[in-house]
Chains A and B, each alone.
Chain A
């Protein structure tokens, strides 16, 4: 593991990465973080001179989808640089050690890098039955989390589970699955929501923190602004069809083949803050809306308990092409037409979403 003065650069050189690749990594990192060309040199300088920041990756109550997303990142050199060189000093999904040996590594890293390491948490602690629903190394996960958090510099809450609770916290939340910030209250926490988060967003966040030794700028909900400041709807390639009132009515209908808007199939793009429509998924290939399915808003708090994900609006008749969006929306929502100028203002969208949820709730119960 080397002395504490070990730099990121010395680690990757030891792993056989060329200097040329290193600079490529720096410049592409700067670009992917939305920083200017000069930032590349700053990143390179930081990585060459500053001690590397160790990352400890822990798993609580979860499904491992965050790790799965992370290891397929198309981020430059992630397979080399982020995965094996920033050094996930402890990650129980991929590391070599097992059992007691692994616990010892964890303890050693905690002591050696006290106050310097990043604690990346995937999943969350269940609090019912004294934490019995997630036992890790003979102890409830919540205890391990508290111990490790105590000496961390900051905490990354990976995914919807760690950030908000996610589907395992859905009614009736059988295990009382609880987001990290309700359990750890005395450390900076950066939330990287999504189920899972986009791989490039995850590597972007890790790279930023390990490069600059601080958290990126966060919004009021604790999410990095660089990736969560826009709605899916704002940058959706189907947006012109929303504006033109052209909607898909059924999976794979003519409108679907033409790539019309999925709003009426229950798409939550208008109320969801994430980078899916810009960064996209699986190496920038696509994202849910591009596959012909609406966004379910998996990066938003409480997405799992807001009524049906599909919200089929069966009363709607076939639309004419180029119908006014307000008219369409008025029928669609079955409420005041003004609310459907959804794309005009966030507040209107929120109001719309709330009303639709209310409507669902009435139908549901």
Chain B
């Protein structure tokens, strides 16, 4: 048995370290460390509630809209206001743009470059992968980055600036979209669809979204151009469906609410495939292996008190659990809970794994491109974008949303018009959690066990695939 440390990890958002015990060329045990802590929950205490709209988004430079709307959702309850329908739509458009942009970043900048590594030089697909995906030099990034930047001009129209936008308020959005701006939004949405259909899928989005079984996906892939099909071929060649199994439970808080309800439903999917209502009151955060003092397990009651000298701890991340169980979150969980046909079929076929996580992200990107078009059409320009909200009343509130990487919750307590407590559980807090008091490992810690590393040790590319398949956002994780 040997112990190795993988890290600092590059091409993930923020800092990450993973310690692995290796036995006979396989991972026997993993410990995941979030080595960065800033103290946002401590900073928010005692401030006026609305300050959360400025401070909370600054937790993360790539999921800032998600953080904004989670704060706005909690404040909406505190102020007893219902957001203007236009504001909800405008928020959906911006949020979807951020999440789709994150999925593209993950695919092109973070995940695919690993296939360009020398370790794969003997594989027949390597030459094409290296030309396309080599980090900072491959041809793909030169197409994807401008397409992504163009998509994010949506943020300019709706939110002024991004990251760290200010337009998302409890009552809606501060900017009323004008006719000319709607035209501009349409043009951006059309350009994004064009990029996806030309470069990512090499097919119409509707055709991609109509795929519903693994067999159909295989047939669709054969002989097709585009980066998604290229990934599918590599995934099969390397059998990525066997790599990085998740813990079983998949969760989604539900996302993109509009007049028809949630675009992606909320719920909990068991390992046997049954989908139940979300028992959000059973969410706890355990600190037995975090550098934190114990306060309460309930995020509505707990506080964040760092304790850098704690001996059993190995991460700044607390361990979120649902009814005591670790849970995987992310695009695959979101699509599985929603019942999306292809993802449901893939999960039934091979379960939660590296390949299916990546497929789910790209399928979701196609869905979002279509949804954005619909939301732009649904805007009624002469009606309000923001309702007036009153003062925040004393009480406990919770804002539950879905960020690109999964379920994000803000638990807010207001006392005497001030923030008394503020607790945040981010997607990667779930996926990259440390062990809990019962010794149960977090989802990534479980997913890494059994991974073959051969003689490569810390440089084993299989480890990189498993870790990056979750698309970690480490700055959100420990905040």
Chain A residues packing against B (C-beta within 8 Å):
15, 59, 61-69, 71-74, 79-80, 83-84, 88, 92-103, 126, 129, 132-138, 166-168, 170-175, 177, 195-196, 250-252, 256-257, 276, 280-294, 296, 298, 304, 308-310, 364
B325 → chain A closest CB, angstroms: 29
Structural contact, A101 and B459, CB atoms closer than 8 A: yes
Q: Please, how many angstroms separate the alpha-carbon atoms of A304 and B171 in the complex? A: 23
Question: In the complex, which of the residues B13, B51, B87, B160 contacts A93, with contact meaning CB atoms closer than 8 Å?
Answer: B13
Q: Considering residues B155, B175, B176, which has the most beta carbons from chain A within 10 angstroms of its beta carbon?
A: B175
Given contacts A95-B135, A98-B464, contact A72 B11 (CB under 8 A): no
B417 → chain A closest CB, angstroms: 10
Structural contact, B36 and A134, CB atoms closer than 8 A: yes
Structural contact, A65 and B164, CB atoms closer than 8 A: yes
Structural contact, A291 and B145, CB atoms closer than 8 A: no
Contacting residues of chain B (379-427) with chain A, CB-CB under 8 angstroms = 384-386, 388
Structural contact, A287 and B160, CB atoms closer than 8 A: yes
List residues of chain A with CB within 8 A of the CB of B175: 252, 290-293
Given contacts A83-B145, A291-B161, contact A257 B176 (CB under 8 A): yes
Of the A-B pairs whose beta carbons lie under 8 Å apart in the complex, a sample of 27, sorted by A's number, is A64-B14, A66-B61, A71-B145, A72-B148, A72-B149, A79-B149, A84-B141, A84-B142, A94-B10, A95-B10, A98-B10, A99-B8, A100-B458, A129-B306, A132-B308, A136-B35, A168-B38, A168-B43, A252-B87, A282-B152, A283-B156, A286-B156, A290-B160, A292-B176, A294-B166, A296-B54, A309-B51
Structural contact, A65 and B163, CB atoms closer than 8 A: yes
Question: In the complex, which of the residues A96, A99, A172, A175 contacts B7, with contact meaning CB atoms closer than 8 Å?
Answer: A99
User: Does B373 reach chain A (CB closer than 8 Å)?
Assistant: no
Question: In the complex, which of the residues A98, A172, A282, A293 contacts B43, with contact meaning CB atoms closer than 8 Å?
Answer: A172
Question: In the complex, which of the residues B11, B43, B158 contacts A94, with contact meaning CB atoms closer than 8 Å?
Answer: B11
Question: In the complex, which of the residues B10, B47, B64, B156 contacts A97, with contact meaning CB atoms closer than 8 Å?
Answer: B10
User: Does B69 reach chain A (CB closer than 8 Å)?
Assistant: no
Structural contact, B146 and A251, CB atoms closer than 8 A: no
Structural contact, A136 and B156, CB atoms closer than 8 A: no
User: Does B137 reach chain A (CB closer than 8 Å)?
Assistant: yes
Structural contact, A61 and B174, CB atoms closer than 8 A: no
Given contacts A98-B464, A285-B157, contact A177 B166 (CB under 8 A): no
Structural contact, B61 and A134, CB atoms closer than 8 A: no
List residues of chain A with CB within 8 A of the CB of B87: 252
List residues of chain B with CB within 8 A of the CB of A59: 14-15
List residues of chain B with CB within 8 A of the CB of A173: 39, 43
Q: Please, how many angstroms separate the alpha-carbon atoms of A252 and B150 in the complex? A: 26
Given contacts A64-B62, A65-B64, A252-B174, contact A286 B11 (CB under 8 A): no
